[in-house]
C-alpha cells in the first residue's frame, strides 16, 4: 500500500467505535473498528474525502455489491455492511483478519512449495467462483490475498473488478502482476488476465519478488512493462521446485492469452497433479454446485422447501481431462523434458502501509453411483409379450435361468478377483517436497569422475552419471571459500563457468531424479 498520502482522520460511524489504523492507499483508508451489535472487531474501508465524486462512489458501491455476491466463499472476504456516514463518507465494513497478508509474508522470504501449491488451489477456487458468477477481479496480487485468523487465504479488494462484459477505462492495475495485453487493450479477456495474475502471484511467493523485477536493476514501470511483454519468464532457480511447477507457472503466464490455462479451474487441476506428484495431500477445489432442476420444483406436502447448495470438493482422481501445459522458454536452461501426467486433482486486516481489508461449470467431476442390489432370493417376473402374449414364463425356467446366471457370475467374480498384493495403495501422506540439495534419497548414486579444466579464463567441468534413469537432471552449484552460489539445473553432464578471481573455481553436482529426489553432492575444482 502506498504511503505517499497521510491517512485521513477516521470518520464517526454510528454503531462502531474506532480502534486503530490498519492501512492507507491511493483511494481509501482501512481502519479497525469495534462493532457494538454484534460485538466484534471489523475492518472498515473508507473512501477518501477527495473522491466524493459520482464516479468514485459508483465504483465503491460496485465493489460492495460484487463482494456481497461472493463473500460466502471460504476464500473470499466476508462483507458485513456498506453505507454512507452522516458526513458523506462511503464505507465498507468487512471481516477483520489479524494475520499478515501474503504481501507481507513473501517480503520476509520465499514460501515453501507445499504451502504455495495449497494456496494456489484455494485462491483459484475463489477466482473460479467469481468467474462463474460473471465477475472478474482484475487485480490479483499478494497484497490482495489476506489471511484469516484460522490461517486460510481470503481474496479481497474487488475495487476495480467488473462483469465479464464490461470495461472500465479508468480502472487501475498493478503492473508487476499484470499480463501484456492489460497495457494496450481496453477489452482484454478478464478471465485470462486473472489466470496470469494468479500465476504471477504464486511465482512471487516462491521467488520472494515479482516475476520480472531484477534485483539491483532498472525496475521502473516502463522497464517492467517491456519485460512483461517481451522477456521470457525467468527460472525460479530453486532446487525444491519441480519442473512440472515451472511449466504450470509458465503456462499460466504465457504471453498469448490463448496459450494460458482456459480457466482458474484448469490451473488448479495442474497444481493438484503436482501435489500428487510430490506425495503431498491434494487440496480440495471448492466451488458452488450448480443448481439442480429439482430445486425449482414446488415444496412437497411435508413443507421441505429449503434446499442447501453444497460446496463441491473436486476429486483430483476423477476423469476430468487435464489441460496441456505450454512449455516455458528459459534462456539459461534446457526444457525438453516431458513431464508425465500425475493423477490428482488476512481477510481485511492490513498492517499500516498496506491496502486492503479482510472483508456453467466446466470440467465438473461426475460421481457415478452403483445401482441398489436386489434382496437375496428376490425374483422379478418378466413378460414375454412377443411369444406368450402376456403370459408369464414358468417359474421353474426362470429359477433355473437365474441359478445359472448366479453360478456363471460367481465363477467370473472368482476368476477376476485381484490378488492380495494388487490391493489399492493407501492415499498419499502429506509430507514436505523433496529437497534436492540435501539429498533425501540416500540410495541414488552420486555423480562420478567430476573434473574441471581451465582454458582462456573459463573453467569447463564434466562428470558421469553411473546409474542413469529416464528424466534424470543435474543440479550444479558454484562453490567458493566464502560459501555457495545459486544452484542451477542442466540435463548435460558438462558446464562452463568463469574462473573465480583470487580463489579456486569449484562446483558441487547432484543427480536429480524426475520424482524430485536427489543424490548426495559431489565437489570438484578446476586445475
Is pLDDT of 431 > 90?
Answer: no
Contact 149, 341 (CB under 8 A): no
442 belongs to a structural domain? no
User: Which of 244, 270, 398 shows the shortest CA–CA distance to 323?
Assistant: 270
Q: Among 176-190, 332-346, 403-417, 435-449, which range has the highest average pLDDT? A: 176-190
Residues 91 and 196 in one domain: no
Residues 138 and 233 in one domain: yes
Among 80, 95, 110, identify where a domain stops. 95
57 membership: H or E segment, kind and range = helix 54-70
412 belongs to a structural domain? no
Q: What mean pLDDT, rounded, does the chain reach?
A: 73
Catalytic residue among 138, 238, 273, 350: 138
In this structure, what C-alpha cell is assigned to residue 432?
Answer: 514436505
SS3 167: coil
Q: For position 518, what pLDDT does the model report? A: 83
Query: Which CATH number do you get for residue 215?
Result: 1.10.510.10
149 belongs to a structural domain? yes
User: Which of 445, 450, 444 shows the shortest CA–CA distance to 464?
Assistant: 450
337 is catalytic: no
Model's pTM, two decimal places?
Answer: 0.56
How far lies 23's CA from each of 64, 98, 149, 177, 510, in Å? Answer: 19, 12, 18, 21, 46
Among 54, 71, 95, identify where a domain stops. 95
Residues 107 and 38 in one domain: no
190 belongs to a structural domain? yes
Is pLDDT of 472 > 60?
Answer: yes
Query: Which CATH number do you get for residue 44?
Result: 3.30.200.20
Residues 126 and 265 in one domain: yes
351 belongs to a structural domain? no
Residues 82 and 185 in one domain: no
In this structure, what C-alpha cell is assigned to residue 30?
Answer: 482501512
How does pLDDT run across 152-207, given as a tens digit for each residue? Answer: 999 988 754 444 444 443 345 689 999 999 888 667 888 999 999 999 999 999 99
User: Which of 144, 152, 146 shows the shortest CA–CA distance to 176?
Assistant: 144
Calpha distance 141→100 (Å, rounded): 14
Residues 458 and 520 in one domain: yes
Calpha distance 121→345 (Å, rounded): 10
How far lies 431's CA from each of 213, 277, 482, in Å? Answer: 32, 12, 33
Calpha distance 372→374 (Å, rounded): 7
Residues 58 and 182 in one domain: no
Furthest CA-CA distance within the chain: 104
Q: Give DSSP secondary structure letters for 432-497.
A: PPP-TTTT--TTSPPPEEEEEEEETTEEEEEEE-TT--TT-EEEEEEEETTEE---EEESSSEEEE
Residues 32 and 125 in one domain: no
Q: Among 69-83, 94-108, 355-369, which range has the highest average pLDDT? A: 94-108
120 belongs to a structural domain? yes
Query: Which CATH number do you get for residue 487?
Result: 2.60.40.10
**First CA to last CA across the chain, in angstroms?**
52
Q: For position 217, what pLDDT does the model report? A: 86
Residues 183 and 41 in one domain: no
Residues 86 and 231 in one domain: no
Q: Which H, E and C letters describe 324-347, residue by residue? A: CCCCCCCCCCCCCCCCCCCCCCCC
Least confident piece of the model among 115-124, 224-233, 324-333, 389-398: 389-398
Contact 28, 355 (CB under 8 A): yes
Give the Cα-Cα-Cα angle 172, 233, 255 (nearest 5 degrees): 60
How does pLDDT run across 377-420, given as a tens digit for each residue? Answer: 444 444 443 333 444 444 444 444 444 444 445 444 444 444 44
302 belongs to a structural domain? no
How does pLDDT run across 109-146, given as a tens digit for each residue? Answer: 999 999 999 999 999 999 999 999 888 888 899 999 99
438 belongs to a structural domain? no
120 membership: H or E segment, kind and range = helix 113-132
The count of domains in the chain is 3
Calpha distance 16→93 (Å, rounded): 10
User: Which of 8, 21, 17 shows the shortest CA–CA distance to 88?
Assistant: 8
Among 280, 313, 346, identify where a domain stops. 313
Which residue is it, cell 487493450? 185
Residue 317 CB: number of other CB atoms within 10 A? 13
Percent of the residues in the chain that have a pLDDT greater than 70, as a whole number = 63
Is residue 52 marked as binding? no
How far lies 485's CA from each of 82, 210, 238, 415, 510, in Å? Answer: 52, 21, 12, 60, 15
Top-confidence residue, 306 or 137: 137
In this structure, what C-alpha cell is assigned to residue 105?
Answer: 509474508
Q: For position 29, what pLDDT does the model report? A: 87
Residues 224 and 151 in one domain: yes
Mean pLDDT of 491-495: 91
Q: Residue 456, preceding bond cis, omega within 30 degrees? A: no
Calpha distance 139→160 (Å, rounded): 7
Residues 153 and 209 in one domain: yes
Calpha distance 274→242 (Å, rounded): 8
Q: Give DSSP secondary structure letters for 89-117.
A: -EEEEEE---BPPHHHHHHH-PPPHHHHH
Q: Give the torsion sign (CA, 236, 238, 241, 247).
A: positive
Contact 278, 242 (CB under 8 A): yes
Q: Which domain holds residue 88?
A: 16-95
| Burial of 242 from C-beta contacts in 10 A (0-12 / 13-18 / 19+) | buried
Beta bridge partners of 34: 17, 41
Amino acid at each position: 500500500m502506498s504511503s505517499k498520502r497521510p491517512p485521513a482522520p477516521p470518520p464517526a460511524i454510528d454503531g462502531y467505535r474506532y480502534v486503530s489504523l490498519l492501512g492507507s492507499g491511493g483511494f481509501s483508508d482501512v481502519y479497525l473498528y469495534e462493532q457494538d451489535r454484534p460485538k466484534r472487531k471489523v475492518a472498515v474501508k473508507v473512501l477518501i474525502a477527495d473522491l466524493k465524486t459520482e464516479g468514485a462512489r459508483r465504483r465503491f458501491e460496485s465493489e460492495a455489491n460484487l463482494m456481497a455476491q461472493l463473500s460466502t466463499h471460504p476464500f473470499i472476504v466476508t462483507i458485513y455492511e456498506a453505507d454512507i456516514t452522516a458526513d458523506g463518507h462511503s464505507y465498507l465494513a468487512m471481516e477483520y483478519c489479524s494475520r499478515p497478508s501474503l504481501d507481507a509474508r513473501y517480503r520476509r522470504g520465499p514460501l515453501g512449495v507445499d504451502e504455495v501449491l495449497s494456496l494456489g488451489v484455494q485462491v483459484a477456487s475463489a477466482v473460479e467462483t467469481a468467474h462463474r458468477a460473471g465477475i472478474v477481479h482484475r487485480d490479483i496480487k499478494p497484497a490482495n490475498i489476506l489471511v484469516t485468523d484460522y490461517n486460510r487465504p481470503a481474496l479481497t479488494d474487488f475495487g476495480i473488478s467488473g462483469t465479464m462484459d464490461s470495461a472500465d477505462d479508468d480502472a487501475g492495475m498493478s503492473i508487476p502482476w499484470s499480463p501484456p495485453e492489460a497495457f494496450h487493450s481496453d477489452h482484454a479477456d478478464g478471465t485470462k488476465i486473472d489466470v496470469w495474475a494468479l500465476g504471477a502471484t504464486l511465482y512471487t511467493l516462491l521467488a520472494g519478488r515479482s516475476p520480472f523485477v531484477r534485483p539491483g536493476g532498472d525496475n521502473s514501470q516502463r522497464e517492467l512493462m517491456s519485460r512483461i511483454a517481451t522477456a521470457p519468464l525467468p527460472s525460479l532457480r530453486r532446487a525444491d521446485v519441480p519442473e512440472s511447477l515451472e511449466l504450470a507457472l509458465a503456462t499460466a503466464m504465457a504471453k498469448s492469452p490463448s496459450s494460458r490455462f482456459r480457466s482458474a479451474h484448469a490451473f488448479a487441476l495442474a497444481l493438484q497433479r503436482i501435489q500428487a506428484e510430490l506425495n503431498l495431500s491434494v487440496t480440495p477445489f471448492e466451488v458452488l454446485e450448480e443448481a439442480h432442476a429439482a430445486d425449482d420444483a414446488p415444496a412437497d406436502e411435508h413443507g421441505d422447501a429449503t434446499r442447501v447448495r453444497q460446496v463441491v470438493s473436486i476429486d483430483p482422481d476423477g476423469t476430468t481431462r487435464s489441460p496441456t501445459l505450454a512449455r516455458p522458454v528459459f534462456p539459461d536452461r534446457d526444457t525438453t523434458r516431458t513431464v508425465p501426467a500425475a493423477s490428482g486433482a488476512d481477510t481485511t486486516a492490513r498492517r499500516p502501509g498496506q491496502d486492503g481489508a479482510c472483508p456453467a461449470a466446466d470440467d465438473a467431476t461426475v460421481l457415478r453411483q452403483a445401482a441398489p442390489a436386489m434382496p437375496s432370493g428376490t425374483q422379478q417376473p418378466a413378460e414375454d409379450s412377443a411369444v406368450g402374449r402376456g403370459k408369464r414364463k414358468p417359474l421353474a425356467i426362470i429359477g433355473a435361468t437365474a441359478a445359472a446366471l448366479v453360478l456363471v457370475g460367481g465363477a467370473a467374480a472368482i476368476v477376476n478377483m485381484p490378488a492380495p498384493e494388487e490391493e489399492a495403495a493407501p492415499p498419499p501422506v502429506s509430507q514436505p517436497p523433496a529437497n534436492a540439495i540435501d539429498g533425501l534419497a540416500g540410495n541414488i548414486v552420486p555423480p562420478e569422475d567430476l573434473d574441471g579444466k581451465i582454458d582462456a579464463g573459463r573453467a569447463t567441468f564434466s562428470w558421469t552419471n553411473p546409474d542413469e534413469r529416464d528424466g534424470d537432471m543435474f543440479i550444479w552449484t558454484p562453490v567458493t571459500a566464502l560459501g555457495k552460489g545459486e544452484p542451477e539445473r542442466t540435463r548435460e553432464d558438462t558446464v562452463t563457468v568463469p574462473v573465480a578471481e583470487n580463489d579456486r573455481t569449484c562446483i558441487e553436482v547432484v543427480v536429480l531424479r524426475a520424482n524430485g529426489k536427489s543424490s548426495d553432492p559431489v565437489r570438484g575444482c578446476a586445475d
